[in-house]
């Protein structure tokens, strides 16, 4: 041993250490971790460890939070919860249930190509795309955040008292740093609740829940000042025979006050939607928020001539939107307000009177309804407005047979007679 150098001793010691480590490995083999930890950013802790498992040599796609940024605690969590988490994962994926999670259903119910709406469609409930988007935005931006804030985890926790508190939440003014956002009007909230109610109706039909809490909810009462007003039926005689400064405002008012169309229907109106049946002009409304809204609306000759003159002047083609402004399909409140104020000047209504009687551009639809109702059109007036009508009326005015066509022309001419009496000057 005396002939060994220090270098030789170092090599011998290293070899012995290798043998020792190998012996330890053979006698006490290491157990593979079968998991690994990922650090994920977290506002409160800076980051937290998420665990992802390996099973049978395959990485499980799901990962779970350990709730801590302490690696030792995270590793303990990963080991102790492995079987529980993997069992739950495999059980969840064994049978895929379309109605398994509250927030999944709420987010997908009114989304595009919704499997839930497809079932509703087969059952006869049709929903226009614009209405679908409106419903979807309300559910995802208002209803879901409220539920999460209140710790709601399943549909059974959504009861009538909760929805009543939700009504109060929507009514209340919200304070921000620099301004106050006023609460939503009762009439609008009542509409919003109906969007939720339709989801519960669907779930009941599919056997996923037993009750609809919206049915027991008391609707909010609408104050008189919130009810949309309209002009006296005798106050617009001859206003459209006068020369208006703004032609665009003139055409918008002319159309809504003589057809009772919705704002959205006016915005979607295309050149090829104008048609003639037995020398009588109509607007073919092909898209609406409801099935009843898809209809043919009588178009007075005077209005038809004004529209066609505007179409020729602006060079509109067959598939063009008549009232589009640049790249915008939605006209916006500024344009509607301008049209409303232009009409008010001719009707000798001040802005103060418009506000006092709550007369807006959309009041044109209310005016048309009031006018036709005063002349006794009844259910047929409801049909031309796109409201839901009785099965008998729907059958008589479905335009599919000779009798339906004859009745359509007959009632359209009745509408024109009323417009001549109250809107246009005698010629």
What mean pLDDT value characterizes the chain?
A: 83
Contact indicator for 365, 386 with CB cutoff of 8 Å: no
Highest mean pLDDT among 183-187, 226-230, 286-290, 417-421: 417-421
pLDDT digits (tens, 9 = 90+) for 295-330: 889 999 999 999 999 999 999 988 889 988 666 567
Residue 392 confidence (pLDDT) above 80: no
pLDDT tens per residue across span 61-97: 888 999 999 989 999 999 999 999 888 887 765 544 5
Q: Is the pLDDT of residue 403 over 60?
A: no
* Least reliable range by pLDDT among 96-105, 112-121, 179-188, 416-425: 96-105
Check whether 280 has a pLDDT greater than 70: yes
Q: For residue 208, what pLDDT is reported?
A: 84
Between CA 7 and CA 11, with CA 8 as vertex, the angle to 5 degrees is 90
Q: Tell me: pLDDT of 395 over 60.
A: no
H or E, element range at 145 = helix 144-149
- The three-point CA angle 170-172-173 to 5° equals 115
- 381 pLDDT higher than 70: no
- pLDDT of residue 404 exceeding 60, the answer is yes
Two tokens, residue 15: 């070899």
> Residues 6 or more apart from 265 whose CB is under 8 A from it?
285, 288, 293, 386
| Residue 159: pLDDT band with limits 50, 70, 90 | very high
- At residue 295, the 3 state secondary structure works out as strand
Output the pLDDT for position 40: 87
Least reliable range by pLDDT among 56-60, 183-187, 385-389: 385-389
Q: What is the pLDDT of residue 14?
A: 59
What pLDDT does 391 receive? 53
Res 400: pLDDT? 40
Q: pLDDT higher for 59 or 164?
A: 164
How do residues 324-373 score in pLDDT, each as one tens digit?
866 656 788 889 999 999 999 998 999 888 888 888 999 999 898 888 88
Whole-structure pTM value: 0.56
At 427, is the pLDDT very low, low, confident or very high (cuts 50, 70, 90)? very low
The answer, yes or no, to whether residue 249 has pLDDT greater than 80, is yes
Please check the confidence at residue 239 and state whether its pLDDT lies above 60: yes
Lowest mean pLDDT among 152-166, 174-188, 335-349: 174-188
More confident position, 330 or 118: 118
- Residue 215, token pair as written in the block: 């049915």
| Across 197-223, average pLDDT | 88
CA-nearest of 188, 201, 184, 190 to 109 is 201
Residues 299 and 315 sit within 8 Å (Cβ to Cβ): no
Which pLDDT value is given to residue 100? Answer: 58
**Rounded average pLDDT over 402-409:** 71
Rounded CA gap, 280 and 405, in Å? Answer: 11
pLDDT at residue 49 is higher than 80:
yes
Cβ(359)–Cβ(349) below 8 Å: yes
Tell me what pLDDT residue 97 has.
54
- Going by the DSSP 8-state scheme, the letter that residue 425 receives in this structure is P
Residue 163's pLDDT band, with cuts at 50, 70 and 90, is very high
In sequence order, the 6+-apart residues with CB closer than 8 A to the CB of 251 are 306, 307, 310, 323
Residue 183: the pLDDT is 86
Calpha distance 264→274 (Å, rounded): 16
């Amino acid at each position: 041993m005396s002939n060994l150098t220090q270098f030789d001793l170092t090599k011998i010691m290293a070899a012995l250490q290798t043998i020792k480590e190998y012996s330890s490995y053979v006698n006490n083999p290491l157990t593979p971790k079968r998991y690994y930890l990922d650090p994920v950013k977290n506002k409160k802790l800076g980051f937290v460890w998420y665990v992802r498992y390996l099973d049978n040599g395959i990485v499980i796609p799901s990962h779970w939070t350990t709730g801590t940024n302490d690696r030792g605690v995270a590793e303990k969590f990963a080991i102790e919860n492995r079987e529980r988490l993997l069992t739950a994962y495999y059980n969840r994926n064994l049978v895929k249930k379309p109605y398994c999670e509250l927030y999944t259903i709420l987010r997908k119910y009114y989304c595009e190509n919704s499997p839930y709406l497809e079932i509703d469609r087969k059952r006869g409930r049709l929903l226009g795309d614009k209405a679908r988007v409106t419903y979807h935005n309300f559910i995802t931006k208002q209803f879901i955040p409220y539920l999460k804030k209140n710790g709601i985890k399943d549909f059974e926790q959504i009861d009538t008292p909760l929805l009543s508190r939700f009504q109060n939440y929507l009514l209340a003014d919200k304070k921000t740093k620099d301004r106050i956002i006023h609460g939503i009007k009762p009439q609008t909230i009542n509409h919003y609740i109906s969007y939720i109610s339709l989801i519960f109706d669907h779930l009941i039909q599919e056997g996923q829940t037993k009750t609809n809490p919206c049915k027991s909810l008391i609707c909010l009462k609408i104050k008189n000042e919130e009810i949309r007003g309209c002009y006296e039926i005798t106050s617009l005689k001859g206003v459209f025979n006068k020369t208006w400064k703004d032609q665009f405002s003139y055409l918008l008012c002319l159309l809504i006050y003589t057809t009772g169309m919705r704002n959205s229907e006016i915005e979607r109106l295309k050149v090829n939607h104008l048609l003639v049946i037995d020398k009588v002009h109509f607007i073919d409304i092909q898209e609406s928020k409801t099935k009843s809204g898809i209809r043919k609306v009588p178009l007075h000759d005077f209005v038809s001539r004004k529209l066609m003159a505007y179409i020729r002047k602006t060079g509109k083609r067959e598939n063009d939107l008549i009232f589009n402004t640049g790249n915008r399909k939605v006209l916006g409140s500024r344009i509607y307000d301008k049209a409303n104020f232009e009409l008010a000047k001719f009707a000798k209504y001040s802005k103060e009177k418009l506000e006092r009687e709550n007369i807006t551009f959309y009041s044109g639809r209310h005016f048309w309804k009031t006018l036709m109702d005063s002349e006794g059109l009844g259910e047929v007036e409801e049909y031309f407005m796109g409201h839901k009508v009785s099965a008998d009326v729907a059958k008589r005015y479905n335009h599919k047979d000779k009798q339906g066509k004859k009745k359509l022309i007959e009632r359209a001419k009745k509408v024109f007679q009323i417009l001549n009496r109250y809107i246009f000057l005698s010629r």
